[in-house]
A and B are shown apart, each in its own frame.
Chain A
């Protein structure tokens, strides 16, 4: 069942969408950072707003010094990979954080004149105001480990990352950008599922994005999926499961049906670890769980090998 939660169920798990800028370097604190992200401290700088200097860990309740969390790519000392938006993803993925953002296409707003008490138009406006984005997909191009790639990031902060017409067009545009440049496509997925406010038009995006992937396959360009927390519903049941390679961040919720729906259907509690990244690797649906600080290197390596093979044809 495709479904999009419009609220972020994890609440505090979502950091701001843009990386911090300006200010002085973060101070050194212990060995945790040095292990996870050696040297990164010098690249990331302190946020200039004095409030929110401490972030509460959603798992342990511990207060984490925000500059440290930023330096650790928003991975807590407990290992939780907190949800991050497109700007941070791009910065962490591309070599030296250098990339060119590509425009994401728009689609008609509210084609069904949908309202569930609050109108979809109002929800869209609120999501745009909160994120500064037009919809859930952001596209950029740059190099990953020396290989040019187009990267698509689905932003959970925008209406639960839900897949509507604009997001579908965004995916197609990203695939076409990769085709134009004859380079691979990397998609970071994060969504509650389809955008119900667009009815069957959102369902059609499952087929439309699948067609875009076929265009890449026909010319032998790699399509790599990085599944992040959470990836569920119609998104998982289309482009998130059609990659040449599937990577997943540790502990990400990945599945088709929502856990509440499954529990209500079978009237049993779910086993621990159910629908988490590690479980999907064990069940053969994901190639590898890759911590955030290793993602760029692993992606770079995979893309290099695949593109070298392609060049030999």
Chain B
């Protein structure tokens, strides 16, 4: 059960506090003393959670997508990849821990898996630079995709980044070129590639790992050209208009599927992926497995053709 509550979850948090208090009382008063009341309160909390998560606005979804307890890359690897062996470094300059990648088996299939990792506390957040990669991260991604192709391994990526890191060193080592090459490598792979936007899909830093045959997205994830805050500060010239920007940019999974930018939405547990991470992770696994089985029937040429047709088709029909 999540311990971090978002602003719109306040009523649920209050109820949860009551439940916790009562169950403590129940412990001291003897087993089962308040079972009836507790059951009623828990049922009420479930209803509130269902209601809140059924009607999230784009800005609330942004908060959920960034929820600190939302499953991150390392959780997906723990839950879905057998014998994961991390591979590090771009063989040029450094290892960037904002993107993690390695070898393993996904439900019996040998794969290359990689994704952004944001970290879960101060130490790990600093280690992973909050999931904001530098050129080395994207160059490592290219290196690993090259290898995946040599060994005929499908590539499975998990996208969760606010964007590529804006810094002097990143610029001087060719951040733009590194992103472009990573996007290019995904688009030209002769093996299947599936990208899942698990949290925030932020700008070029996200598409670098999402030039895939299939792009999946979690129910409350977002995918956008720039963060709502960034858009607000440029267009509205006021960063506090992020809520307006989030709505205007159409960043939710539900908006994106209509635009054919994503292929499939993966349902989250009632209170969001963070309320029941294990079941969220396995649901992602189930959908990825299904999609992978289909892609594995395609030849290298068919995979490239499908990928190219998928991206070329975006915007060419179905828009007002």
User: Which of A2, A115, A275 is the one whose CB lies under 8 Å from B204?
Assistant: A2
Which of chain B's residues have a CB closer than 8 A to the CB of A241?
Answer: 174, 176-177, 180-181
User: Which of B180, B184, B202 is the one whose CB lies under 8 Å from A214?
Assistant: B184
Query: Does A108 touch B at the CB level, under 8 Å?
Result: yes
Scoring A111, A203, A236 by chain B CB atoms within 10 A of each residue's CB, the highest score goes to A203
Query: Does A281 touch B at the CB level, under 8 Å?
Result: no
> Is B320 within 8 A of A3, CB to CB?
no
Which of chain B's residues have a CB closer than 8 A to the CB of A285?
Answer: 174, 176-177
> Is A211 within 8 A of B249, CB to CB?
no
Could you give, for residues 194-238 of chain B, a 1 whenever the CB lies within 8 Å of some chain A CB and a 0 otherwise? 000000001110110001000000000001111100110011100
Task: For residue B5, give the distance in angstroms from its CB to the closest CB of chain A.
Answer: 28
Task: For residue B51, give the distance in angstroms from its CB to the closest CB of chain A.
Answer: 28
Query: Does B59 touch A at the CB level, under 8 Å?
Result: no
**A1-B203, A111-B259 given as contacts; is B225 within 8 A of A194 (CB)?**
yes
Which of chain A's residues have a CB closer than 8 A to the CB of B245?
Answer: 116
Which of chain A's residues have a CB closer than 8 A to the CB of B108?
Answer: none
Interface residues of A in 41-59 (CB under 8 A from B): none
**A2-B204, A214-B184, A256-B170 given as contacts; is B320 within 8 A of A204 (CB)?**
no
> Is A199 within 8 A of B249, CB to CB?
yes
Give bound CA distance, A279 to B188, whole Å: 30
Which residue of chain B has the shortest Cβ distance to A268 in the bound complex? Answer: B168
> Is A238 within 8 A of B259, CB to CB?
no
Which of chain A's residues have a CB closer than 8 A to the CB of B203?
Answer: 1-2, 194, 203, 234
User: Which of B166, B223, B251, B319 is the one whose CB lies under 8 Å from A1?
Assistant: B166
Query: Does B281 touch A at the CB level, under 8 Å?
Result: no
> Is A1 within 8 A of B176, CB to CB?
no
Q: Interface range on chain A: under 10, 10 to 19, 20 to 34, or 35 or more? A: 35 or more
Query: Does A201 touch B at the CB level, under 8 Å?
Result: yes
Interface stretch (choices B19-27, B115-123, B285-293, B310-318):
B310-318
Could you give, for residues 162-192 of chain B, a 1 whenever the CB lies within 8 Å of some chain A CB and a 0 otherwise? 0111111011111111011101100110000
User: Which of A110, A204, A256 is the one whose CB lies under 8 Å from B315?
Assistant: A204
User: Which of A117, A200, A210, A274 is the one whose CB lies under 8 Å from B261?
Assistant: A200
Give bound CA distance, A111 to B318, whole Å: 10
Query: Does A170 touch B at the CB level, under 8 Å?
Result: no
User: Which of A114, A169, A214, A233 is the one whose CB lies under 8 Å from B187?
Assistant: A214
> Is B171 within 8 A of A257, CB to CB?
yes
Query: Does A29 touch B at the CB level, under 8 Å?
Result: no
Query: Does B52 touch A at the CB level, under 8 Å?
Result: no
Which of chain B's residues have a CB closer than 8 A to the CB of A265?
Answer: 165-167
Which residue of chain A has the shortest Cβ distance to B227 in the bound complex? Answer: A1
Could you give, for residues 103-115 of chain A, a 1 whenever the CB lies within 8 Å of some chain B CB and a 0 otherwise? 0000110111111
Which of chain B's residues have a CB closer than 8 A to the CB of A270?
Answer: 168
Which of chain A's residues have a CB closer than 8 A to the CB of B173?
Answer: 283
Task: For residue A212, give the distance in angstroms from its CB to the closest CB of chain B.
Answer: 9
Task: For residue A252, give the distance in angstroms from its CB to the closest CB of chain B.
Answer: 13
> Is A208 within 8 A of B234, CB to CB?
no
Task: For residue A227, give the distance in angstroms from its CB to the closest CB of chain B.
Answer: 10
> Is A194 within 8 A of B226, CB to CB?
yes
> Is B250 within 8 A of A242, CB to CB?
no
> Is A116 within 8 A of B225, CB to CB?
no
Query: Does B244 touch A at the CB level, under 8 Å?
Result: yes
Could you give, for residues 1-42 of chain A, a 1 whenever the CB lies within 8 Å of some chain B CB and a 0 otherwise? 111111000000000000000000000000000000000000
Query: Does B256 touch A at the CB level, under 8 Å?
Result: yes
Task: For residue A220, give the distance in angstroms from its CB to the closest CB of chain B.
Answer: 15
> Is A207 within 8 A of B174, CB to CB?
no
Which of chain B's residues have a CB closer than 8 A to the CB of A6?
Answer: 235
> Is A116 within 8 A of B244, CB to CB?
yes
Give bound CA distance, A262 to B177, whole Å: 17
Give bound CA distance, A279 to B163, whole Å: 24
Task: For residue B98, give the distance in angstroms from its CB to the closest CB of chain A.
Answer: 14
User: Which of A242, A268, A275, A283 is the one whose CB lies under 8 Å from B180?
Assistant: A242
Which of chain A's residues have a CB closer than 8 A to the CB of B227?
Answer: 1
Give bound CA distance, A295 to B180, whole Å: 25
Task: For residue B170, give the distance in angstroms from its CB to the closest CB of chain A.
Answer: 7
Which of chain A's residues have a CB closer than 8 A to the CB of B164?
Answer: 1, 237, 256-257
Query: Does A272 touch B at the CB level, under 8 Å?
Result: no
Give bound CA distance, A284 to B250, whole Å: 37
Give bound CA distance, A266 to B231, whole Å: 20
Query: Does B248 touch A at the CB level, under 8 Å?
Result: yes
Query: Does B16 touch A at the CB level, under 8 Å?
Result: no
Query: Does A172 touch B at the CB level, under 8 Å?
Result: yes
Query: Does B267 touch A at the CB level, under 8 Å?
Result: no
Task: For residue A181, give the distance in angstroms from its CB to the closest CB of chain B.
Answer: 20
User: Which of A116, A200, A233 is the one whose CB lies under 8 Å from B248?
Assistant: A116
User: Which of B176, B181, B226, B259 is the one whose CB lies under 8 Å from A240?
Assistant: B176
Scoring A117, A234, A238, A256 by chain B CB atoms within 10 A of each residue's CB, the highest score goes to A256
Which of chain B's residues have a CB closer than 8 A to the CB of A200?
Answer: 223-225, 249-251, 256, 259, 261
> Is A199 within 8 A of B225, CB to CB?
yes
Which of chain A's residues have a CB closer than 8 A to the CB of B163?
Answer: 1
> Is B184 within 8 A of A262, CB to CB?
no
Query: Does A206 touch B at the CB level, under 8 Å?
Result: yes
CB pairs A–B below 8 angstroms (5 shown): A1-B230, A203-B204, A265-B165, A270-B168, A274-B171
14 more A-B residue pairs beyond the given contacts A1-B202, A241-B181, with a C-beta to C-beta distance below 8 A = A1-B203, A2-B225, A111-B315, A172-B312, A199-B249, A200-B249, A201-B315, A207-B311, A208-B314, A237-B179, A257-B167, A265-B165, A274-B171, A285-B174
Top 10 A-B pairs, shortest CB-CB distance: A257-B166, A236-B176, A256-B176, A203-B225, A237-B179, A241-B177, A116-B235, A199-B249, A237-B204, A256-B175
